[in-house]
Structure 1
Amino acid sequence: MPALILFIKNPIPGQTKTRLAAEVGNEMALKMYHVLTDWTRQQALGLANAERYLYYSSEITVGDKWPETDFHKRLQHGPGLGERMENAFAEVFAAGHHRAIIIGSDCPGITTAYLETAFAALQDHDLVIGPALDGGYTLLGLRQPAPELFKNMAWSTTEVLPTTLARAAAAGLSVKQLPPLSDVDYLADWQHYGWPMPE
């Protein structure tokens, strides 16, 4: 059975969606983050045939909106994003999964259907990637560990996607790119999806 890895940040005012908070304030940014995580959770639960792994940023929370019956709860570990992603992939592959996809929790464009398309692409591609409009990616899927994709990456820059694709090509990995999506880092990104502001 394939594995879906979800990375979320523990919702702490002032430390959650900081670029968004600079425009709307910490309290509203936190409310918007909860809307985004609620959406992501529903899309993940829509998958009929995948095991779900939820990786918290700083501490595992029991009894929150993420049911322990539906999500294996883990803690991200590593000094930076690349190491944390690499380690998460290593853990699920070690658990016996042969296809794994990682997503964050701030992209309303990631639907159950988008996830299903990504898993299907891994049937005959080594790597599937969902490009982000800002030059990064919103989804990455693998059939085996590929640590070279995560080391010494300039995260949160426009170089993430082209560098990842170049490294995949150098490693001889076959790649499927999905339609590009926008994640929500700024108020304009939120408005792009036509969502109302939270009460």
Structure 2
Amino acid sequence: MSKSALLLFIKNPIPGKTKTRLAGDVGNEMALKMYHQLTDWTREQALGLDDADRYLYYSNEVTIGDAWSEQDFHKRLQHPGDLGERMLEGFRVAFEEGYDKVIIIGSDCPGIDTAYLNEAFAALSTHDVVVGPALDGGYTLLGMKSLTPSLFKNIAWSTPEVLTSTLARAAAAGKSVKQLAPLSDVDYLADWLSYGWALPEG
């Protein structure tokens, strides 16, 4: 029986330090409200999965009693280091714990719904790696069936070369890759509006 794990990386919501690029468009208070709406969406989509364990990785500290129920999410703290080091450690632990399909996502992509997540897990039945390309050259989702450390090392994170570098590393490691439909993260107000979402009230 396949064991699947979804790893969700979120940032502890801190005014002035959450969605800073978005805050440049709408201000810190509105950016924080928008971030909460994004995490609410991500949580509901994750809860729609029937046969995957869910792990919530906080950026700064694990919060008990927040909107993420401890009955539905195993809560952990992200490993120190850059994004690659943090993701690599998340994958490493999941595979050590016996999972054979592991997918990681963030919390700022309204295009990732339950159907998209199910498609990603299904892709790992026929491919070694699955990736959800981002329109800015990165990716919004990454999944694999076994640990491939080279996908996380010496990558220029937050640049338009992330996806290209990742695909090249996967090919060099002899891994088959399934690419899903490309989506947009919400980094700026235009990204938010492109999904047809209204701004939070207040």
C-alpha deviation, 1:78, in angstroms: 2.3
Consecutive aligned runs of 4 or more in structure 1 exceeding 6 Å deviation: none
Name the CA distance, whole Å, in 2 between partners of 1:72 and 1:66. 9
Q: 2:158 aligns with which of 156, 159, 165?
A: 156
Q: 1:184 aligns with which of 178, 183, 186?
A: 186
Task: Give the corresponding residue for 1:103.
Answer: 105
Task: Give the corresponding residue for 1:122.
Answer: 124
Name the CA distance, whole Å, in 2 between partners of 1:6 and 1:159. 23
Task: Give the corresponding residue for 1:166.
Answer: 168
SS at match of 1:29: helix
Q: Per-residue CA shift, 1:69-90, capped at 9, x if unaligned?
A: 0000000012111000000000
Cα RMSD (Å) of the superposition? Answer: 0.4
Task: Give the corresponding residue for 1:78.
Answer: 80
Q: 2:22 aligns with which of 20, 23, 34?
A: 20
Name the CA distance, whole Å, in 2 between partners of 1:116 and 1:79. 30
The residue type paired with residue 36 of structure 1 is: L
The residue type paired with residue 160 of structure 1 is: V
SS at match of 1:165: helix
Name the CA distance, whole Å, in 1 between partners of 2:81 and 2:152. 12
* Aligned partners of 1:154 and 1:160 also within 8 Å: yes
Q: 1:39 aligns with which of 27, 38, 41?
A: 41
SS at match of 1:145: coil
Q: Per-residue CA shift, 1:87-114, capped at 9, x if unaligned?
A: 0000111111000000000000000000
* Aligned partners of 1:78 and 1:87 also within 8 Å: no
Name the CA distance, whole Å, in 2 between partners of 1:37 and 1:89. 21
Matched length: 199
SS at match of 2:86: helix
Name the CA distance, whole Å, in 1 between partners of 2:191 and 2:114. 20
Name the CA distance, whole Å, in 2 between partners of 1:53 and 1:71. 5
Name the CA distance, whole Å, in 2 between partners of 1:5 and 1:111. 15
* Aligned partners of 1:58 and 1:75 also within 8 Å: yes
In the TM superposition, what are the counterparts of 1:40-79 in structure 2 within 5 Å?
40-79=42-81
Name the CA distance, whole Å, in 2 between partners of 1:22 and 1:75. 28
Structure 1 residue 11 corresponds to structure 2 residue 21: no
The residue type paired with residue 88 of structure 1 is: G
Q: Per-residue CA shift, 1:125-169, capped at 9, x if unaligned?
A: 000000000000000000011110001111111000000000000
TM-score norm. by structure 2 comes to 0.98
Name the CA distance, whole Å, in 2 between partners of 1:6 and 1:123. 21
C-alpha deviation, 1:124, in angstroms: 1.1
Name the CA distance, whole Å, in 1 between partners of 2:101 and 2:183. 22
C-alpha deviation, 1:191, in angstroms: 0.2
